[in-house]
Structure 1
Amino acid sequence: MRKLIYILCFGFLFTTCDDGDIVEVTLDFEDEFKQCGSLVFFKTNASTSESLSIQFGSLTIEDILEVDENFLYEDTLPLGGSNVLNYRSYANLPADNLLFCNDIPPSNIGIERDEVSIGGEVFIRTVLVEDDNDGIPSILEDLNGNGDLEDDDFDNDGIPNYLDADDDGDNVLTITELTDFDNNDDDGDPLTNPEDTDGDGNPNYLDTDDDDDGVLTRDEDLNSNLNPTDDNTNTPTDGSIDLVDYLDNTTANPVIATEFRPHIIRMIYTITATVSNISLPSITQQTLEFGTLNDSSITNDERLGEPVFID
């Protein structure tokens, strides 16, 4: 959705305009903005040679990423003084890095209109969503169906299922165990027919002994590298499928595991800004949705989940 701001030119503001004349300028910006330095939010339109920017006096990107226990950051900052909302138009729009990300801007920018807000405020909101990227939507990892994702921890490793890349704690990643080999329902979706090697009614990703041979899957890791998928004792001579040990109930060579495989938890930040009560010398608008930050180096991150081994 594109944003519109109307620039009004009144006689008491500009002596070159007759009283009542209106100069209408359409600011045409996309919903996303960028950031650089410490700290500037900005967006540009190359086709109209315009820019909007907000420079913050003391706020940093690190501040904005400091979410609370509800994975939320919210703050409203006044405009004016050290926090500056700026609209500019140019004869020819320079590259973004020359406009906002250089300590010393070029001398030949060619600014045609320069407006600085003398009032108003900007509301910043950050929402953090964490996910294990295991191929299962978080909402489907609410095993008890009570709407609380935090109290579902199938393997009791201290990491709830929606953040656990190995839901059953067998050191085989959930996304690996979702493979729908037979595709019996012909839909190609492993979530509707997840693999259940031993046919016990528990899909492999929620089964601690996938082949039902009496040896836990995580204990069929002969080379003890926290990855049972690369351990194969028997190579069949009858042309049957060559199975790794944890899926082969004819092999039972336990090597007792002593720790869980580390987990990578994906962190996705959504940062939005809304400007209200804009007070520019010749621009009037009550509210402007500045947009959503588009910078994957800031908004995408990850952390290490450290499961606690259960004997």
Structure 2
Amino acid sequence: MRKLFFILLSLSLLSNYSCDDGDIITVELEFEDTFEACGESDLVLYKTKEDPSESLSVLITNYSLEDILEVGADNTFNEEKSATFYYRTYNDASLPNDLFCSEIPPNVNIVSDDNSACTAEINTILVEDDNDGILAQLEDINGNGDLEDDDTDGDGLPNYIDADDDGDNILTASENPDPNGDGDLSDAQDTDGDNIPDYLDNDDDGDGVLTRDEENDSQNNNPGNDITDSDVGADYLNPEVNTTVPATAYREHTIIRSYVVTITLFNIDDLGSISYDEYDFGILKDSEIPSTYKSRKITPDFN
């Protein structure tokens, strides 16, 4: 494991300025709402700015980014950790991209370096979606506001994370659930005109053979490439073809995952002219989430 160097200078050059009544004049920290992260065994959260060149960073020892992405059964994570908050100013007109957690610390001119013990409250929310072209809220088939109990094909995956809502091995996104993309599903494709849109219909052409069983040419859990009459198209949309080749498995599903990680700091009070009972450190940039966390794959048990 590479050793990561986190610059831990403590120059404490900021002075305390007092009004006549003894109140401390506080410096406002104006940074972007997002922050970045690095570190394998010690987690460093940071953000920088220029004109003037400054940085804010938070060090949480014996902790990692993976720790705060391990959400519970409710897809959330919340924890408070002891941390150290750093505020630094620099003489450099611009700051290097590897200012933090580089193997060799970059050459920068630090003017002031102050730190304070604090408490970091970490909140993580995981949102999952099937990326099938239908907004999650529109997949509430039961209309009760609970997306978890809407499972049209009974494969154990609620529709909002099921890339194939009707279990016919044709992905929902390929069944034109919202042809013009306006969020109104009333014009969804309905090949056999039975008032059940194709993406919820397990027999799309109404020929009495389940769509998933119309694999007459290649048995690969995808009826879309089985074509007897090229003028009509795939057999599962051709009522004149009703040859049955029973399916034996569902297609693999890819579920897209999106994390929102926010950090709030409490009791920053050892930085001279800077003092915060509570400071919103911001939201972790999506680019900082490892690619291995951005999706998961699952193949439902066949029924």
TM-score, with normalisation over the residues of structure 1? Answer: 0.84
2:287 is aligned to: 296
SS of the residue corresponding to residue 174 of structure 2 reads: helix
Report what 1:110 is aligned to.
109
Does the 8 Å contact 1:167/1:205 carry over to 2? yes
Q: How far off its partner does 1:135 sit?
A: 1.1
Provide the rounded CA distance (Å) in 2 between the counterparts of 1:11 and 1:48.
21
Q: Could you tell me which residue of structure 2 aligns to residue 136 of structure 1? A: 134
Aligned 8 A contact 1:43 1:53 in 2: yes
Aligned residues: 284
Contact 2:37/2:288 (<8 A) preserved: no
- Looking at structure 1, the residues matched to 61 and 81 of structure 2 have their Cα atoms a distance apart, in angstroms, of 10
Which of 50, 66, 71 is equivalent to 1:62?
66
Q: How far 1:280 moved relative to its partner? A: 2.7
Residue 234 of structure 1 corresponds to which residue in structure 2? 229
- Cα offset for 1:273? 0.3
Report the secondary structure of 1:143's partner residue: coil
The answer to whether the 8 A contact 1:178-1:190 is kept is no
- Tell me the distance in 2 between the aligned counterparts of 1:179 and 1:199: 14
Residue in structure 2 matched with residue 94 of structure 1 by the alignment:
95
Q: Which amino acid aligns with 1:224?
A: Q
Query: For residues 266 and 53 of structure 2, what CA distance do their matches in structure 1 show?
Result: 24
Q: Distance in 1 between matches of 2:178 and 2:23?
A: 69
Contact 1:34 1:295 in 2 (8 A): no
CA root-mean-square deviation: 2.6
The SS at the match of 2:62 is coil
Q: CA deviation at 1:96?
A: 2.8
| Ranges in structure 1 where 5+ consecutive residues have no aligned partner | 1-6, 13-17, 237-241
How far did residue 90 of structure 1 move? 0.2
Contact 2:38 2:45 in 1 (8 A): yes
Q: Distance in 2 between matches of 1:27 and 1:217?
A: 60
What is the alpha-carbon distance in structure 2 between the residues aligned to residue 19 and residue 288 of structure 1? 25
- Of 194-203 and 223-232, more deviation after overlay is shown by 223-232
Distance in 2 of aligned mates of 1:174 and 1:190: 15
Percent of matched pairs sharing the same residue: 48
Partner of 1:274: 264
For the 8 Å contact 1:278–1:285, the answer to whether it is kept is: yes
> Is the counterpart of residue 309 in structure 1 residue 302 in structure 2?
yes
Letter in 2 for 1:197: T
Distance verdict in 2 for CA 1:91–1:251, change over 3 Å: same
Distance 2:146 2:137 in 1: 9
Partner of 1:27: 29
User: Judging changes above 3 Å, is the alpha-carbon distance between structure 1 residues 91 and 199 closer, same or farther for their aligned structure 2 residues?
Assistant: same
What is the alpha-carbon distance in structure 2 between the residues aligned to residue 11 and residue 290 of structure 1?
25
TM-score of the aligned structures, taking structure 2 as reference length: 0.86
Aligned AA for 2:253? Answer: H
The equivalent residue for 1:239 is: none
1:43 and 2:38 matched = no
What is the Cα deviation at residue 58 of structure 1? 1.1
> Quick check: 1:217 aligned with 2:211?
yes
Matches of 1:307 and 1:71, distance apart in 2? 20
| 2:16 counterpart (10, 22, 46) | 10
Alpha-carbon deviation of 1:24? 6.9
Counterpart Cα distance in 1 of 2:205 and 2:71: 43
